[in-house]
C-alpha cells in the first residue's frame, strides 16, 4: 500500500519540528486520514508532548482524547513522524512505543532537526511487519507527495 | 438455571476504540482486564503486544491484573486500546 498526501503536509511537519524542537529536541506529529481510505493522509496533528534531545513522550491523557476524537470523526493515523537532532534511524524505543501497532504501520524519522530542505530525502522510513518487527523502506517507495 | 446459563447471562460487551475504529468486545465481569485486553488486541489485529493497555474515557489506564468489574468497567462502556506510553527516541 502506498500513502498519498499533499506536499503541504510535509512542509507543515517540518515547520512544527523547527518551531517545537528548535533543532535541539525531538518532536513528533501524526498524519491522519479518513478511516475508509487507508491510502490517504490529509491532516497533521501535533500532540501535546514532552521532549529532550534524545526522547519525546506523548501526554497520556492527550492520547486517549485523541483516540476518542478519532473514533468520533472516523479518522486514523497513517504516518507517525518524529525528528532527531542528528541522524535518522528507528530506535528500539520507536519500535516498541509507536502509536499504531498494526501491520503496515509507517514511522518516518526526519534527521538534523528538520533544518534541511523540506523533503523525504535523507529521512528514514520503517514499516511494521506481521511478525512485529520493523523493516526499513525507502520513503519514496511508500509515500507519494502530491503538489 | 444451570451454572452455564448463569455464566452466559453475565457475559456482556464494551466498545473498544483503536486507531479510529470501534469494535464491540465481549467480556465477563469477573475475568481479568488482561483477558479483555488480549481479546481487543486480537480483534484489531495488533501485532506488537506487551506494551498496550486499556484506558477509560477519562484517560485512566486499567490495571491488567484486576477483574474488569473491579476496574470499574460497566457494560456498554467505551474503552480505548492504546500504548501505555507513546514515545520515541
pLDDT given for residue A129 in this prediction? 95
Residue B2, domain member (yes or no): no
Q: Does A64 touch chain B (CB under 8 A)?
A: yes
* Full DSSP string of A21-78: ITTTS-EEEEEEEETT-TTEE-EEE---EEE-SS-EEE-HHHHHHHHHHHHHHTEEEE
What total number of domains does chain B contain? 1
CB A34 within 8 A of CB A79: no
Locate the domains of chain A by residue range.
Answer: 3-146
Q: Flag whether B43 is in a domain.
A: yes
A81-127: pLDDT as tens digits: 999 999 999 999 999 999 999 999 999 999 999 999 999 999 999 99
**Residue A93 contacts B where some CB pair is shorter than 8 Å:** yes
- Its domain, for residue B49, covers 19-83
Q: Which residues of A touch B46 (CB under 8 A)?
A: 101-102
Q: Residue A67: pLDDT band by 50, 70, 90 thresholds?
A: very high
Q: How far apart (Å, rounded) are the C-alpha atoms in residues B23 and A84?
A: 36
Write out pLDDT tens, residues A20-48: 999 899 999 999 999 999 999 999 999 99
Question: Is B1 domain-assigned?
Answer: no
For position A92, what pLDDT does the model report?
93
Interface contact B83-A93, CB threshold 8 A? no
Q: Is the ipTM of this complex over 0.95?
A: no
Round to whole Å and give the CA distance between B16 and B44. Answer: 10
Measured CA to CA, the distance from residue B63 to residue A134 in angstroms comes to 28
Task: Using the predicted structure, report yes or no on whether residue A136 has a pLDDT greater than 70.
Answer: yes
Mean pLDDT of chain A: 96
Interface residue ranges in chain B relative to chain A, Cβ cutoff 8 Å: 17-22, 44-49, 51-52, 55, 57-59, 61, 78, 80, 82-83, 85-89
**Contact yes or no for B17 and A128 at CB 8 A:** no
Of A55, A65, A130, the CB nearest to B89: A55
Per-residue confidence (pLDDT) for residue B4, from 0 to 100? 56
pLDDT at B80: 98
The yes or no reply on domain A3-146 and CATH 3.40.470.10 is no
For chain B, 89 residues long, give each residue's pLDDT as a single digit of tens. 565 555 545 569 999 999 999 999 999 999 999 999 999 999 999 987 568 999 999 999 999 999 999 999 999 999 999 999 999 99
Interface of A with B in 31-60 (CB under 8 A): 32, 35, 47, 54-58, 60
CATH of the domain at B57: 3.10.20.90
The rounded percent of chain A whose pLDDT value lies above 70 is 100
- Nearest chain A residue to B45, by CA: A102
C-alpha cell belonging to residue A67: 483516540
Amino acid at each position: 500500500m502506498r500513502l498519498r498526501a499533499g506536499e503541504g503536509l510535509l512542509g507543515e511537519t517540518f515547520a512544527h519540528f523547527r518551531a517545537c524542537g528548535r533543532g535541539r529536541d525531538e518532536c513528533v506529529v501524526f498524519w491522519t486520514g479518513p478511516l475508509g481510505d487507508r491510502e490517504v493522509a490529509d491532516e497533521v496533528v501535533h500532540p501535546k508532548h514532552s521532549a529532550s534531545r534524545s526522547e519525546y513522550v506523548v501526554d497520556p491523557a492527550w492520547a486517549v482524547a485523541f483516540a476518542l476524537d478519532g473514533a468520533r470523526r472516523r479518522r486514523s493515523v497513517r504516518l507517525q513522524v518524529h525528528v532527531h537532532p542528528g541522524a535518522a534511524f528507528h530506535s528500539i524505543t520507536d519500535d516498541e512505543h509507536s502509536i499504531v501497532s498494526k501491520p503496515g504501520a509507517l514511522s518516518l524519522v526526519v534527521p538534523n532537526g528538520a533544518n534541511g530542505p523540506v523533503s523525504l530525502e535523507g529521512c528514514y522510513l520503517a514499516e511494521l511487519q506481521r511478525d512485529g518487527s520493523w523493516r526499513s523502506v525507502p520513503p519514496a517507495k511508500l509515500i507519494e507527495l502530491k503538489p | 438455571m444451570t451454572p452455564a446459563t448463569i455464566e452466559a447471562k453475565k457475559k456482556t460487551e464494551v466498545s473498544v476504540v483503536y486507531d479510529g475504529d470501534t469494535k464491540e468486545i465481549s467480556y465477563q465481569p469477573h475475568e481479568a482486564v488482561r483477558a479483555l485486553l488480549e481479546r481487543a488486541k486480537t480483534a484489531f489485529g495488533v501485532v506488537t503486544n506487551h506494551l498496550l493497555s486499556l484506558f477509560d474515557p477519562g484517560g485512566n489506564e486499567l490495571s491488567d491484573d484486576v477483574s474488569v468489574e473491579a476496574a470499574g468497567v460497566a457494560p456498554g462502556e467505551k474503552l480505548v486500546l492504546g500504548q501505555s506510553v507513546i514515545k520515541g527516541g
